[in-house]
Amino acid sequence: MLSLLFISKKKRKEESLEEKVALIQQGDLELREDVIKAYQPFIAKSVSSVCKRYINETDDEFSIGLIAFNESIEKFSSEKGNSLLSFADVLIKRRVIDYIRQQSKEQTVSMDYGSESLEDGSDRSSIQDELSLEDFRKKTDAELRREEIAQFQQILQEFGLSFQNLVKQSPKHVDARKNAIEVAKILVDNEELRKHLLEKKRLPIKELEKMVHLSRKTIERNRKYIISISLILLGDYVYLKDYIKGVLEK
């Protein structure tokens, strides 16, 4: 009996974080608590990178990060191609940024009622706070965009691609880009094609040819671009998905 218990514990230690998350999503509450506790330093580090200061467990921002990490466990899907930690890192930072923005807005509103007005009727504190908040938005958005691209580059490397491929291999004409994006959408929505891409790291051209109104030659010519777009659609990439949205709206 003791030997079986030892083997069971040994197996759990060998499980990857993603495997543990799968068990948690099946209802293992004890494992959820263990994982959250074990990754509190990771949570604090993610939160600190946004707040630009040391964060401990008593800070409100840490609580926001903790909730976001738990949310990432619930929402994580291995089919998207990301690791749990990269997904959690993005989600934690977004939630903390939203919290800071909300706090800044509330502070601005309260100061509007308690500060003296200038000769032109404007409020010095309110103006300064709005400028600071806008500056914060720009800096954090730029930082998150850089991190998102860095994470995406890591995924692309597994497929023998780089972020430059998305730029250089992008079809020159808008209609051609839209067609390629539509191919990527069809791939992502099809379980078998999606599985083929993620497991074999290559585009299922033969199967796609039967499902789209494009020639094999066209699909092959835009292969790298279609793979890149498919990975964006599968992942949790807010800024990169804006690029896709922009192409489709043109």
Tens of pLDDT, residue by residue over 134-148, are: 666 666 677 778 878
pLDDT: is 30 or 238 the higher one?
A: 30
Does residue 153 have a pLDDT over 90? no
pLDDT at 147: 79
Same domain for 102 and 174: no
Establish if 43 belongs to a structural domain: yes
Q: Which of 66-80, 175-189, 200-214 has the lowest mean pLDDT?
A: 66-80
In percent, how much of the chain has pLDDT > 70?
Answer: 78
Establish if 145 belongs to a structural domain: no
Distances (CA, A) of 47 to 64, 100, 155: 9, 11, 23
Establish if 152 belongs to a structural domain: no
Distance CA 52, CA 143 (A): 12
Establish if 119 belongs to a structural domain: no
Establish if 47 belongs to a structural domain: yes
Name residue 123's beta-bridge partners: 117
pLDDT at 132: 55
Same domain for 168 and 104: no
Q: Total domain count for the chain?
A: 2
CB 27 within 8 A of CB 73: no
Burial of 3 (0-12, 13-18, 19+ CB in 10 A): exposed
Please state the rounded mean pLDDT for residues 48-74. 89
Establish if 133 belongs to a structural domain: no
Distance CA 17, CA 35 (A): 8
Establish if 134 belongs to a structural domain: no
Distance CA 88, CA 73 (A): 8
Same domain for 172 and 96: no
**How long a stretch of residues is the chain?**
250
pLDDT: is 130 or 186 the higher one?
A: 186
Same domain for 102 and 31: yes
Range of the domain at 218: 163-249
- pTM recorded for the entire structure: 0.57
Q: What is the pLDDT of residues 105-134, one digit of tens each?
A: 665 544 444 444 434 444 444 444 444 556
Establish if 64 belongs to a structural domain: yes
- CA atoms within 13 Å, Cβ hemisphere of 130: 10
Q: H-helix or E-strand containing 31?
A: helix 29-38
- What's 66's domain CATH number? 1.10.1740.10
